[in-house]
Structure 1
Amino acid sequence: MAPVAVSLATTTDFVTAPHTLHDVIAQAAEWYPLHELSFISSLAQDSIQTKTFSAFNQYVRNLARAMLEWGKPRGSVIVVYLTEHEDNMTAVWACLLAGYLPCLQPALSAQQAHKEGHVAHIKNLLGSATWLTSELGAEQITSISGLEVHLFSEFKSSGEKFAVGADWVAYKAKPDDDAIMFLTSGSTGFSKAVVHTHRTILTACRAQGQNYGLTSESKVLNWIGFDHVGGSLEFHITPLLHGASQLHVHASAIITGPLRLLRLIDEQSIQLAFGPNFLLSKLTRDLEKRSDLFGCFDLSSIKRINSEGEAIVSKTAQAFVAMMKKFSKNPSAVSLVIAPGFGVTETCAGCIYNYPLDVLTTELAREFLDLGRPLNGCEMRIVDPADGTTLRPDGESGELQIRGQMVFVRYYNNAEATSSSFVEGGWFRTGDVGIIENGVMRLGGRIKDTIIVHGISYGIPELETNLQTVEGVMHSFLAAACYRAPGQDTEGFIIFYSPTFNLDGAEASTELSATHRALRDICVKMITLPPQFIIPIPVNQMERTTLGKLSRARLMSLFKQGQLAKYITRSEELLSEARGISFVAPYTETEKVFVKIYAGIFNLIESKVSVSDNFFEIGGTSLDAIRLKREGEEYFGLPDIPSIQILKHPVLSSLAHYVDFLLSKGTQTEEYDPIVPFSVTGNKTPIFFVHPGVGEVLIFVNLAKYFQNERPFYAFRARGFDSGHLFFTSMDEMVSCYAAAAKRIQATGPYAIAGYSYGGAVAFEVAKRLEAMGEEVKFFAPINIPPNISDHMCELDWTAALLNLSAFLGFMSRYDADDMHPSVSLLTRQQQLEFVWKLSPPERIVELQLTLEKLDKWTDVAMSLINCGVDYIPTGSVSAVDVFYTTPFAGSNVDWLNNQLKPWTGWSRGEAWSDFSRSKVSYILVPGEHTTLMDFEYVSQFQKIFRSRLEARGL
């Protein structure tokens, strides 16, 4: 077949069409003054703040005038580092109207060295050190010298002094002036700054709006961060250009509350939204659990969901649309279509789209949805990646290249990167592998050195560098390559390496097992995902290129052709042999039952399950533990296998022995032991976690798996849950018990202790107690709690304990719990329990295997801890404090940090963590909210930040 390049003609602009972004906002305010920009922030996820186009236009022009007071020359770069959509949007428009060039900065790395290196790089790259950020952002960059930092709160206040005209601008822009800069992910090194002009942005926005069918009556919903081209251009400037109203929602509000998406579509009559493959998959799984709300929403308004960022699995799209119909009051009225597309920062987001597809009525021939055809004014072609110019025939894969006026003009101050990104004729090299067949494009992989996991890009070179350090890996003979298995929701990867040991040697099985375990652990810690395959290849079979590099493309080709099968088979033989060395077959009937249950949970062959297997070390989660408990109770006819006993007996044989004890002894009380061992492997200093105010420790299950084979992970569980165990009656009694238990597990220091919420105060006292014993406590970490908890405790009664526990368990929001307290407290204790029980989601009750009696007992435990803390006043100090904080129950991060965790400026309150540390206190922001930071959505990021602080303390 003949080589192909595909293009579509450019549309003709209307006479009145805006030529610059200045024209866009002026036209929106003049033509559609009452249309709205609405916002849901990370701090107030159940309320919507709104500004009309007219009011917003006046607001940002006043701020632009205030910005001139900074005295910067026209064209100066302003780094905008903010988290909320409204703040980012305001800052960008103010910069544009003041004649400055905004550069949008995504969230900075939590790792200090990487963060400081990035900020220094941006400072040198831009030749500017002017940042507009929040108090929290300023705190993050305080260690980098030479930056000029303007606080957004002060900037907003300064705008109140001005009242300029509704058409005021400091400088009338021209179409080819620089407009906005976006930073690349930096996944293959330090970030590049992508420069877009007014012309490139408006060309893309016109074509996007035409493709989406936007009108002034449309309403769009966006949850992508504003620092991303999708959030700022595709879902703000594009609809603004067409007069469409917009709702911008902080991502956390959708990810942690999937029903909120349905409610917003229903209540706000949303027509267009965004949903990458991983989110559609997650929403489908989460929504399946809420069958009680099927048929409860009016979803007839939603017409299209754009999906970019990663290939969309056909079955995922079908399942999501089917799920939306189930929730609709009138399923036949739901005409939702999925529009898969392709775009990158350099193309102003989406530039190639498939025709909107009804995935339920269209026969889907391939595993992934096709990406389609280019927008008006855009061209695409597939070429030989070796030379970057030779066109590939129709239906053959090669490098995807794009050309058009929406393609960026240059990388800022980086002529070399700009030049290497284009080939003759102005074609931009995307770095992606694609196929064009009959004018329709689909992706086939990536040339660039990145892997996308749940929409987040990770650099393969950085991963490879860390994997090279594993004992058993021959240095410079390791490569990682992207791979998506059939039916897989998100992209995966394979590790190829040459072992330092002989695969036919006497100790090969033991050495291979240890090497593969270490490689998996690093992958999980760095990118939250284990490799799908780890393939050991003898060094004499690992070919290099003429430049001395391993070719990932060649290794993947060999893998797909089956030419590495013998090495995979040999690896499986050795791993099976290693497993056989420690393999213990079930002997008792109870062990055989648990082998069957383990096999079902982990999708294993029963003959491969050893009674020496540790439930959590082979991948068990908190939900898996609940399933194990439920199936064990059902099979053995036991009324209860306490969850804590599963945590204390994670090894199959030990759990079987405990169940035999229950069957033979009935409910005989075991001696109380506060220690729950989540993991006992690893050579680094153990970490001890103290329970939150509800006393339980299941919340740590998701976190503990990241420490396996690195350091032991223990948690303290409160006394009083089990029959015959008395509640703690004082803080001193609890601390004495926990300190003695820590000494029993770890005889000498240095110690590492952390406490979540209420547990932060207890952990502080345990750390003091250990220091009083002459031991070194090298790491103490309170998590989202101030040092003085007594003020909070004295406000709480049994009703508050019940409602707080209910909020902690996800039965209601914290705000609902606070609002309900006055009326619920008037009920009898039994009525209060029944009231909460009726509000509780049935599937959550099943997950927790909860009964009214257990909820009653749990509330008593929580109340006992309140009583222990009501008179608690912190005194003394410890050697070091690392405070981890996130969004509190009420208020902002900034207020929480400055008014509760750190000293107030101007005087000493004697209640900040710095008053109880003998060295400088570190304050570290972590993602999520108070009750969600250890949930699946956030724990992968929390563990990275937490582990980096442990390492910074030398542990």
Structure 2
Amino acid sequence: MAPIAVASTTTSEFFTNLKTSIVSPQPNTLHDVIAQAVDSCPSHELGFITSSAHDSSIQTKTFSAFNQYVRNLARAMLEWGKPTGSIVVVYLTEHEDNMAAVWACLLAGYVPCLQPALSAQQAHKEGHVAHIKNLFGSAIWLTNELGAEQISTISGLEVHLLSELKGSAETFNVSADWVGYEAKADDEAILFLTSGSTGFSKAVVHTHRTIIAACRAKGKSYGLTSESRVLNWVGFDHVAGSLEMHITPLLYGASQLHVHASAILADPLRLLRLIDEKSIELSFAPNFLLSKLTRDLEKRTDLFGTFDLSSIKRINSGGEAVVSKTAKAFAATMKQLSKNPSAVSFDISPGFGMTETCAGCIYHPVDVLTNEPTHEFLDLGRPIDGCEMRVVDPADGSTLRPDGESGELQVRGPMVFVRYYNNAEATSSSFVEGGCGRIKDTVIVHGVSYGIPELETHLQTVEGVTHSFLGAAPYRAPGQETEGFIIFYSPTFDLDGADASSKLFATHRALRDICVKMITLPPQFIVPIPVNQMEKTTLGKLSRARLISLFKQGQLAKHIARSEELLSEARGATFVAPSTKTEKALSKIYAGIFNLAESEMSASDNFFELGGTSIDVIRLKREGEAHFDLPEIPTIQVLKHPVISSLANYVDSLLSKDGKTEEYDPIVPLQLTGNKTPIFFVHPGVGEVLIFVNLAKYFQNERPFYALRARGFEPGHPFFTSMDEMVSCYAAAVKRTQATGPYAIAGYSYGGVVAFEVAKRLEAMGEEVKFVGLINIPPHIADRMHEIDWTGGMLNLSYFLGLVSKHDANDLAPALRPMTRKEQLEVVWKLSPPDRLVELQLTPEKLDHWVDIAGSLIECGKDYNPSGSVSATDVFYAIPLRGSKSDWLNNQLKPWSGFSRGEPSYTDVPGQHYTLMDFDHVPQFQKIFRGRLEARGL
């Protein structure tokens, strides 16, 4: 592999560019790594942007200052009186806190174990913490106030707060080379927890020797020097964040900037600004994020030629395979956004590694714009120095596979972990003769690893599946951006039986539902294989590798064809041929959206049951308007008429111009299948409910999902004028839809207080309300409502709709306020991505009217003062619009406890206030939310 050239760069206000270079660093322990960095580059800096930062302000510490800080922390740790080698579970959120805690543990002679975010599901969280306590034989946790709150229900833990440790450390001023313990190369250094996707987490033991071997080889591969500048936004609890993007650059004296992921995801332009302003040379982004950044940035034609991106030389990409076309699109977009496209030349370097190999251990940097990729995915190249790999037959774990054939990957080298902590059985099963580690049974979806054995356990419970004759295997179809999977199983019924079609339909539907709810995606294929034709190994197991091989070779084609024939037969039993001209036209549009044959479309097909998303709704609306030459098919009518025949009737009424103004009904049914208690979701402060479409699909065949939409969008419908009027309207609508309880109602943001009031109203009617979900909203909103003027409301709405970035929404307000309303709209309109305006079919007049709707809801909330109580509340909290998450929870959200007669729950959910329902976060949110519904007995 050719060495990576690192261009020289100019001095920036953040990085001090020292003309020094560390040649062939040879430390033996991590203690040596930090000491060497301080001696060689004392003025180089570690920079941090936190999750609560509203701008690009960077908190910095020089290597020298950081060294002093963590040694004082380490000295303060000794006051705990714990013996050398004690394990400390580090459970923190921000990069700087995690980093400081890990180094303090190392220097004090303790072994840090990095704990990722705990599950929001109480039972799983408590089970995990109990497992960790048992695994380590003790339970020392170092966390913040929010983390302490999360584990407060679990007894027997020794919890130390970082804030208190910092306070104690201020009383010490140890020497710059002080250590509480002189480490040895083969001492345990850091423990990393596996994902726990195949059960409870295992603790991977890495020594000083394994970590340094990995980091030395990585840095050589990256071409790092002490003049390099690294930007990281991978969580520190992940090996890629801590070892690959911190200890590796520290080993070479490189300056580092660590950004909380939420800061980039909320505003992708921040990544470009930081590369520009801080002359960043190396960063990291997995394939799905390269894809997201491209989607978000390639539409910003107004920003083409804006940034200096000449410094970036390499972007590592791991977690899943890198799609060649995604890499090319990203690189091309970076050039378009650059002030000087000819100066932009960087490698995208796909990599592979595991927690057990200290993250990446094989890379292949390539400039995809000058070297045309030869395969669908970017090649991985050759392993780093000292690492060896081989591909073997999974049946025996030792026979080498010929080039080009798939098999089991085995890895060995000095960077491979030494063992799983206190788990000899797992350690033994992970190694074969020769010191090679074996692959795990997982499928990786958008960079998140899910355990196949756990999935299979749940799938085995489906009626129609022969016990022990089901296997799920990872599979990536050509052109697919992320990994998927196939289910192979033997049905309990005869595939040639009289009722085979209905039984197969029910079985496959149940298998899909479980997959969507557990790992957020349906299987790409479900292949039923008669039990007498399903081969097992001599150990009585299904060979996933063989099943995938047979599938790729086409040897399962007859089973797939029979399945499709039976499913078509089942579908035909309820098939209604489109009869009118309008039904036939809509059938063609539906078929195009869902990539189905037009002949397969039934007039009774439901848009959402076919898998329609919020983006698909907009597409259906636009294509329908174009085909029927209508000025507008209101989005709400698409939502209210998802069935082809129903939507056709509505379109016919528009075409005949006899469509009268419909009576306002706040209820929008987004999903009507399933027998469990329905859920009602109240709109956020913008009044619209399209945001719930992607959430509703996860409740298919489980429970109906209704959304409540504000009044005022349709002509002739006046705005609400008071909270009482709104609540009365919504409570009556809920009762019309579901005559009797128990009820489940939730509200997102502003909708949370409305949901609370509707629940109170239903209880006052004598009804039982078993679930009240309050999503990222405090009970006291009046002060906040008074703070929002028309300008603020317009910017909030514009950010919510994706018209402006969070950065722009925060910065524009002072400049806009002196302008007229029309002038303010013109500014926002010019900043808005043209494609997004077309996608939403907005006009300046529609945006203006929408701001008025949102403003009417703000007015309703200005006099709101919560009172009374409901049976119980479930509060879900994400990163707030401003301030820290801890303050948001403890000072803003906890007061809900005063309005709940039963024990309230407070559940952490991923994302930020405006992003927790988007495509990136809703898969995890639905799992958490459904868990709380079930916990309330619904």
Shift of 1:588: 2.1
Deviations 1:548-576 (A, max 9, x none): 33222232232222221111101111111
2:437 partner letter? R
- 1:39 match: secondary structure: strand
Q: Which residue does the alignment assign to 1:926?
A: 909
CA contact (8 A) 1:682 1:711 kept: yes
Q: Which residue does the alignment assign to 1:370?
A: 379
User: In structure 2, do the counterparts of structure 1 residues 161 and 836 end up closer, same or farther at CA, with 3 Å as the change threshold?
Assistant: same
Deviations 1:113-154 (A, max 9, x none): 222221111111111200011222112222221110111222
1:407 partner letter? V
- Find 1:421's aligned residue among 397, 414, 430: 430
Shift of 1:110: 2.1
CA contact (8 A) 1:814 1:889 kept: no
CA contact (8 A) 1:496 1:535 kept: yes
Residue 22 in structure 1 maps to residue 31 in structure 2? yes
Q: Which residue does the alignment assign to 1:50?
A: 60
Distance (Å, rounded) in 2 between the aligned partners of 1:416 and 1:953: 38
User: In structure 2, do the counterparts of structure 1 residues 176 and 45 end up closer, same or farther at CA, with 3 Å as the change threshold?
Assistant: farther
Shift of 1:187: 2.1
- Find 1:706's aligned residue among 672, 675, 698: 698
Q: Which residue does the alignment assign to 1:761?
A: 753
- Find 1:450's aligned residue among 442, 451, 465: 442
Q: Which residue does the alignment assign to 1:399?
A: 408
Residues 365-374 or 605-614, more deviating: 365-374
Distance (Å, rounded) in 2 between the aligned partners of 1:871 and 1:822: 26
Shift of 1:14: 7.1
Residues 818-827 or 262-271, more deviating: 818-827
Residue 352 in structure 1 maps to residue 362 in structure 2? yes
Deviations 1:563-604 (A, max 9, x none): 211111011111112222222222222222212222222222
Shift of 1:614: 1.1
Residues 585-594 or 818-827, more deviating: 818-827
CA contact (8 A) 1:478 1:496 kept: yes
Distance (Å, rounded) in 1 between the aligned partners of 2:801 and 2:350: 37
- Find 1:277's aligned residue among 287, 311, 315: 287
Distance (Å, rounded) in 2 between the aligned partners of 1:858 and 1:630: 19
1:561 partner letter? Q
Distance (Å, rounded) in 1 between the aligned partners of 2:927 and 2:642: 25
Residue 573 in structure 1 maps to residue 565 in structure 2? yes
Residues 944-953 or 273-282, more deviating: 273-282
2:286 partner letter? P
Deviations 1:360-404 (A, max 9, x none): 333533333332222222333344444444555666654333332
1:410 partner letter? R
Distance (Å, rounded) in 2 between the aligned partners of 1:621 and 1:842: 21
Distance (Å, rounded) in 1 between the aligned partners of 2:575 and 2:196: 45
Q: Which residue does the alignment assign to 1:852?
A: 844
Shift of 1:839: 2.9
User: In structure 2, do the counterparts of structure 1 residues 398 and 493 end up closer, same or farther at CA, with 3 Å as the change threshold?
Assistant: closer
- 2:921 match: secondary structure: helix
Shift of 1:688: 0.2
- 1:794 match: secondary structure: helix
TM-score with structure 2 length normalisation?
Answer: 0.94
Distance (Å, rounded) in 2 between the aligned partners of 1:548 and 1:401: 24
Q: Which residue does the alignment assign to 1:125?
A: 135
2:932 partner letter? R
Shift of 1:815: 6.4
Deviations 1:62-104 (A, max 9, x none): 1111111111111111011112111110100111111111111
2:143 partner letter? T
Deviations 1:286-330 (A, max 9, x none): 322223322322222111122222222333333322332222222
Distance (Å, rounded) in 1 between the aligned partners of 2:817 and 2:332: 43
Q: Which residue does the alignment assign to 1:653?
A: 645
Q: Which residue does the alignment assign to 1:942?
A: 925
- 1:665 match: secondary structure: coil
- 1:544 match: secondary structure: coil
- Find 1:76's aligned residue among 80, 86, 89: 86
User: In structure 2, do the counterparts of structure 1 residues 16 and 339 end up closer, same or farther at CA, with 3 Å as the change threshold?
Assistant: closer
- 1:923 match: secondary structure: strand
Q: Which residue does the alignment assign to 2:611?
A: 619
1:930 partner letter? H
Q: Which residue does the alignment assign to 2:9?
A: none
- Find 2:884's aligned residue among 892, 897, 900: 892
Shift of 1:218: 0.5
CA contact (8 A) 1:622 1:702 kept: yes
- Find 1:524's aligned residue among 513, 516, 526: 516
User: In structure 2, do the counterparts of structure 1 residues 657 and 235 end up closer, same or farther at CA, with 3 Å as the change threshold?
Assistant: same
Distance (Å, rounded) in 2 between the aligned partners of 1:226 and 1:85: 6
User: In structure 2, do the counterparts of structure 1 residues 680 and 15 end up closer, same or farther at CA, with 3 Å as the change threshold?
Assistant: closer
Distance (Å, rounded) in 2 between the aligned partners of 1:733 and 1:15: 73
Residues 694-703 or 546-555, more deviating: 546-555
User: In structure 2, do the counterparts of structure 1 residues 797 and 487 end up closer, same or farther at CA, with 3 Å as the change threshold?
Assistant: closer
Residue 555 in structure 1 maps to residue 544 in structure 2? no
Deviations 1:184-211 (A, max 9, x none): 2222222221111112111111111111
1:593 partner letter? A
CA contact (8 A) 1:216 1:242 kept: yes
- Find 2:627's aligned residue among 608, 611, 635: 635
Deviations 1:330-356 (A, max 9, x none): 2222221122222222222222233x2
User: In structure 2, do the counterparts of structure 1 residues 567 and 766 end up closer, same or farther at CA, with 3 Å as the change threshold?
Assistant: same
Root-mean-square deviation (CA, aligned residues, Å) is: 2.0
2:239 partner letter? V
1:591 partner letter? E
- 2:787 match: secondary structure: coil
1:631 partner letter? E
Residue 326 in structure 1 maps to residue 336 in structure 2? yes
Residues 128-137 or 507-516, more deviating: 507-516
- 1:50 match: secondary structure: strand
The runs of at least 4 aligned residues of structure 1 exceeding 6 Å deviation read: 13-16
Distance (Å, rounded) in 2 between the aligned partners of 1:61 and 1:370: 43
- Find 1:234's aligned residue among 228, 244, 256: 244
Residues 871-880 or 157-166, more deviating: 157-166
Residues 247-256 or 934-943, more deviating: 247-256
Q: Which residue does the alignment assign to 1:696?
A: 688
Distance (Å, rounded) in 2 between the aligned partners of 1:539 and 1:20: 56
- 2:493 match: secondary structure: coil
User: In structure 2, do the counterparts of structure 1 residues 755 and 510 end up closer, same or farther at CA, with 3 Å as the change threshold?
Assistant: same
| Structure 2 portions without partners, runs of 5+ | 1-21
1:304 partner letter? R
User: In structure 2, do the counterparts of structure 1 residues 196 and 45 end up closer, same or farther at CA, with 3 Å as the change threshold?
Assistant: farther
Matched-pair identity in %: 79
Q: Which residue does the alignment assign to 2:16?
A: none
Distance (Å, rounded) in 1 between the aligned partners of 2:349 and 2:405: 24
Residues 15-24 or 241-250, more deviating: 15-24
- 1:317 match: secondary structure: helix
- 1:470 match: secondary structure: coil
Residue 36 in structure 1 maps to residue 45 in structure 2? yes
Give the alignment of 1:124-143 within 5 angstroms: 124-143=134-153
Distance (Å, rounded) in 2 between the aligned partners of 1:132 and 1:634: 60
User: In structure 2, do the counterparts of structure 1 residues 801 and 396 end up closer, same or farther at CA, with 3 Å as the change threshold?
Assistant: closer
- 1:490 match: secondary structure: coil
| Structure 1 portions without partners, runs of 5+ | 1-12, 432-447, 903-911
Q: Which residue does the alignment assign to 1:9?
A: none
Distance (Å, rounded) in 2 between the aligned partners of 1:256 and 1:793: 23
Give the alignment of 1:104-123 within 5 angstroms: 104-123=114-133
Q: Which residue does the alignment assign to 2:893?
A: 901
- Find 1:317's aligned residue among 313, 322, 327: 327
- 1:567 match: secondary structure: helix
- Find 1:513's aligned residue among 505, 508, 516: 505
Q: Which residue does the alignment assign to 1:340?
A: 350
Q: Which residue does the alignment assign to 1:3?
A: none
User: In structure 2, do the counterparts of structure 1 residues 549 and 41 end up closer, same or farther at CA, with 3 Å as the change threshold?
Assistant: same
